[in-house]
Every structure is written in C-alpha cells, then in structure tokens.
Amino acid sequence: MFGIYPGSFDPLTYGHIDVIERALRIFGRLVVAVAHNPEKQPWFSLEERVRMLRKATEGMQGVEVDSFRGLLVDYARKRGATVIVRGLRALSDFDYEFQMALTNRKICCDIETVFLMPSEQFSYLSSRMIKEIVALGGEVGAFVPEFVAAMLRERRPLSPR
C-alpha cells in the first residue's frame, strides 16, 4: 500500500515537505503528484513544479514525483493507489478537504483519504501567502528551501509603486 500526495505545489513550501516526511513514515512509499489545474494561474509551469519537488525530495527513499491531469481518483486508480494524503493546516482547510474526500469516495469507493497535519511551525503556511510576500518584496527563506526562494525572486511580478 502506498499513498498519493496531490497538490499544485506553487510554490513548494516547508509545510509540504513536512507532510511528505510524515506520510513516508506511515506508508514507506509516496507518490507526490503535481496537479495540472486549469482554474489556477500558477507562477510556475507544471514541469518547474515537478523539478522543484524532485530536487527537494532527492534524498528521500520511497518518494516518487509525478504529475497528472484530470480527476485525482482516476490518476490514483491508474497508479494502483488506495490512499490519498492531504495536508490540513487549520480548521479553515477542513471544510473544503472534507467535501473533496467525500466526493472522491462517491466517485471511487475503494480509495481512502488520510489527513495529516504539518508541524505547528508550518501550520500557517500556504503557497498563496508565500506568493503574496514575494510580490510585495518580502523575503521567504524561512518558509521555502533556498532554491525555491531564488526561483520566486526571479519570477516575482512587478508590484505597483
């Protein structure tokens, strides 16, 4: 049995890495699946996000990084996974994640969703918050690996003056 940890990872944060490490302790094997979501406007391409994750997890035994398009449960079924791993930062995440878990269960009843909480020091982090800080000229080195911070600085949109 192995888990799939899906997400947009735009950008990858220490909170994501923490959930990956926690899931590995439970499952031993984890596919980190970068989602192509046409509704979102990512700062980084799908390929760039996959490269970010591969670099951040290169020393972690049991981690595979992949990408997918379409329904997560279809991807999980195709990969032979029976568990979807989702990170919960705060109560505000729960409502959306609960709805998604129940919807996924209705579509595919043999795939379970497991919720993992990151360490307290990462429980407030979100990719959206990281991008806001960067867009306003702030430093994010405490929230993301240095190579991700450098990529964010290069990608930073021009902010109005």
71: Cα within 13 Å, side-chain hemisphere: 13
What is each CA distance from 111 to 24, 76, 78, 86, 104, in whole angstroms?
Answer: 18, 8, 12, 13, 8
Q: How far apart are CA 104 and CA 74, in angstroms?
A: 10
Q: Is 77 a catalytic residue?
A: no
Rg (CA), the chain: 16
Query: Rounded CA gap, 159 and 125, in Å?
Result: 22
51 is catalytic: no
Annotated catalytic residue within 49, 86, 127, 131: 127
Q: Report residue 73 as tokens.
A: 């449960």
Q: Which of 77, 89, 155, 156 is catalytic?
A: 89
Given a contact cutoff of 8 angstroms between Cβ atoms, the answer to whether 29 and 139 are in contact is: no
Query: Could you say which of 25, 40, 69, 78 is catalytic?
Result: 40
Is 16 an annotated catalytic residue?
A: yes
Active site residue 131: no
Structure tokens at 105: 């269960």
Which residues are part of the catalytic machinery? 16, 40, 89, 127
